[in-house]
Structure 1
Amino acid sequence: MLELYQFELSHYSEKVRLLLDYKGLPYRKIEVTPGVGQVELFRMSGQRQVPVLKDGNTVIADSTAIAKYLDKQYPDRPLIPIDPKQKGLCLLIEAWADESIGSKSRKVLFGALSQNQNFRTSILPSNTPDALKTLVGALPGEVLNLLGLGVGYGPDAVQAATEDLQQDLESLSLLLLESPYLVGDYPTLADFAVAGLSMLIKFPSGPYLDLPETLRGKGIPGLADRSAYETFFNWRDRLYADYRKPLSANTTAGATGSTPTSIEID
Structure 2
Amino acid sequence: MIELYQFELSQYSEKVRLILDYKGLDYRKIEVIPGMGQIDLFRLTGQRKVPVIKDGANIVSDSTEIAKYLDQKYPDRPLFPTDPKQRGLCLLIEEWADESIGVKSRQALFGALSQDQNFRKALLPNTTPDLLKGLVGAVPNDLLKILGFGVGASPDIVKSAETDLKQDLEALCLLLADSPYLVGDRTTLADLSVAGLSMLIKFPDGPYLDLPANVKGKGVPGLADNLAYQPFFTWRDRLYSQYRKLTPGAVNITGSAPTAISID
Give 2:10's aligned amino acid. Answer: S
Deviation at 1:46, TM superposition (A): 1.5
The answer as to 2:191 corresponding to 1:194 is no
Partner of 1:233: 233
Partner of 1:261: none
Partner of 1:208: 208
Deviation at 1:255, TM superposition (A): 5.8
CA offsets per residue over residues 160-182 of structure 1, 9 Å max, x none? 00000000000001110110110
Take 1:170 and 1:118, find their aligned partners in 2: how far apart are those partners? 29
- TM superposition score normalised by structure 2: 0.94
Give 1:205's aligned amino acid. Answer: D
CA offsets per residue over residues 38-97 of structure 1, 9 Å max, x none? 011111121100000101111000000000000110001000111101100000000000
Take 2:221 and 2:47, find their aligned partners in 1: how far apart are those partners? 34
Partner of 1:222: 222
Alignment of 1:146-225 (within 5 A): 146-225=146-225
Partner of 1:253: 250
Deviation at 1:252, TM superposition (A): 4.2
Is the contact made by 1:27 and 1:252 (CA closer than 8 Å) also made in structure 2? no
Residues 252 and 128 (structure 1 numbering): CA distance in 2 closer, same or farther, change over 3 Å? closer
Partner of 2:11: 11
Take 2:140 and 2:190, find their aligned partners in 1: how far apart are those partners? 39
Q: What count of residue pairs does the alignment treat as equivalent?
A: 254
Residues 105 and 255 (structure 1 numbering): CA distance in 2 closer, same or farther, change over 3 Å? closer
Structure 1 stretches of 5 or more lacking a match? 258-266
- TM superposition score normalised by structure 1: 0.94
Deviation at 1:254, TM superposition (A): 2.6
Residues 255 and 118 (structure 1 numbering): CA distance in 2 closer, same or farther, change over 3 Å? closer
Take 1:233 and 1:174, find their aligned partners in 2: how far apart are those partners? 13
Identity of aligned residues (%): 69
Take 1:14 and 1:192, find their aligned partners in 2: how far apart are those partners? 10
